[in-house]
Amino acid sequence: MLSSPIIDLAIGLTFVFGVTAAVASLVTELISRLTGLRGAYLLIGLRELVDGGDSATNLTNVGQAYADMRNLVLHGPAPAADPAPAADPAPAPAASSVTAALLGGPILGSQGVAGQLSSRKLTLGKTTKTGQLPGMTNDPAAGRKWSQLRSLPSYIPASSFADAVVDLIVPDTHGQTGMNVIEQGIGNLPDPMPFKASLQALVTNANGDVGRFRASVEKWYDNHMDRVSGWYKRRVAKITLTFGALIVVLLNLNAITIGRTLYTESAVSAAISTVAAKASCPGEKSQDCLNTLEGQISAAAAAGLPVGWGTVRDCTEPKAYCGWWEQRGLWSRHGGSGWQLAVVLAGFLIMIFSVLPGAQFWFGLLSKLNALRSTGPKPAAGQLF
């Protein structure tokens, strides 16, 4: 077995980085679920794709929006008419939100959603910046906004989106759907409409092939959702950094202090290497992973890893006088406290930014380091064991 202080130091620090990143990721995922962040970003991504972000989107009655859009496809926009007498009822307004119409259809209306989308009394405001979550309001009688967002679908497959588009733009037919029927339905949509312009371009590229048209719609959707995924990841990274900073400060996880302890105290380094050899985050359930990580952190602290805000060793010596700042290691009782504080802040920053690569990266690196440590040097020529 290859034993080296440098390898043991790398294993120890990688283990600490991995556990910290895992805890921060679990907290972020919990916040994302509580606030319905995934569903919200899927919703704005769908709205950006088919409607653009220049207008508000009302999801109060998506079923009616679907019926209105189907009526447009079947009959086309109503022609301009002479003003009706005052006694006559005003005509029903045409559907303006393709997003609401798609979500109100029979295909996307049941994509992993608890209950009916018609009960989601949400209104998305205008998008002021690309990738920014727009303001959302809801009917107070419908309950809390977060509960409304949590009930939205967090994932829609590209094939389901293509099915919903074809269902929306193709009139009721009893025969096979051909490109001429699809073109007719698209032509009946009102102008100007981003959805109509995009579909007309996809029809041109399909060259009369319905299968190619459906594949183009799926690719169109996937390419845009890749951008939406980038927006979501950037938002989540900010949340992870925020909660990573809280975890680091609350647990006093200082990369420089931990690294110094691992390098100078072989007993602690060996104990941490033993704990790190079994480190993992098994299963898909957050609670199982959290319980495992809690045990790993406790084992590391018991092994002597400097975790927590206990009194530093320098202040436990006989006749050592230390104030609160010196006891926490933020100041030095021997002078040079400004430099000591700078080192502490640097160690905190290293720990905070270590959460960004994610736990999977650190645990993968940890397994490679453990494999390197267990291989040992190459046997000499002629030596079998």
Give the per-residue pLDDT at 213.
93
Q: How far apart are CA 206 and CA 378, in angstroms?
A: 61
Give the per-residue pLDDT at 145.
58
Q: Mean pLDDT over residues 276-299, rounded?
A: 66
Residue 57: helix, strand or coil by DSSP?
strand
328: amino acid identity, one letter: R
pLDDT band at 318 (very low <50, low <70, confident <90, very high): confident
Q: How far apart are CA 217 and CA 107, in angstroms?
A: 16
- With contact defined as beta carbons under 8 Å apart, do 122 and 136 qualify? yes
Q: Encoding tokens for residue 320?
A: 């050592």
| Cα separations in angstroms, 226 against 46, 118, 219, 231 | 12, 27, 10, 9
157 vs 140: which has the higher pLDDT? 157
pLDDT band at 242 (very low <50, low <70, confident <90, very high): very high
313 vs 249: which has the higher pLDDT? 249
**How many secondary structure helices (H) and strands (E) does the chain include?**
15, 3
Q: Mean pLDDT over residues 210-215, rounded?
A: 92
**Average pLDDT in the chain:** 77
Give the per-residue pLDDT at 215.
94
**Residue ranges per domain, the chain?**
5-31+252-375, 38-77+93-234
∠ CA(72), CA(78), CA(83), 5° rounding?
Answer: 150
Q: Mean pLDDT over residues 305-315, rounded?
A: 79
pLDDT band at 220 (very low <50, low <70, confident <90, very high): very high
Q: Encoding tokens for residue 381?
A: 């020529």
Q: How far apart are CA 70 and CA 135, in angstroms?
A: 28
Q: Is the pLDDT of residue 257 over 80?
A: yes
Q: Mean pLDDT over residues 238-245, rounded?
A: 93
Q: Mean pLDDT over residues 215-230, rounded?
A: 93
Q: Is the pLDDT of residue 297 over 80?
A: no
Give the per-residue pLDDT at 55.
66
Q: Mean pLDDT over residues 128-149, rounded?
A: 51
Give the per-residue pLDDT at 136.
52
Decide the pairing of beta strands 136-138 and 122-124. antiparallel
State the burial class of residue 212 (Cβ atoms within 10 Å of its Cβ: 0-12, 13-18, 19+): middle
Q: Encoding tokens for residue 239?
A: 């949340």
Residue-wise pLDDT for 61-95, tens only, equals 778 888 888 888 887 665 554 455 544 444 434 44
Residue-wise pLDDT for 334-345, tens only, equals 666 678 888 889
**HEC sequence for 267-291:** HHHHHHHHHHCCCCCCCCCHHHHHH
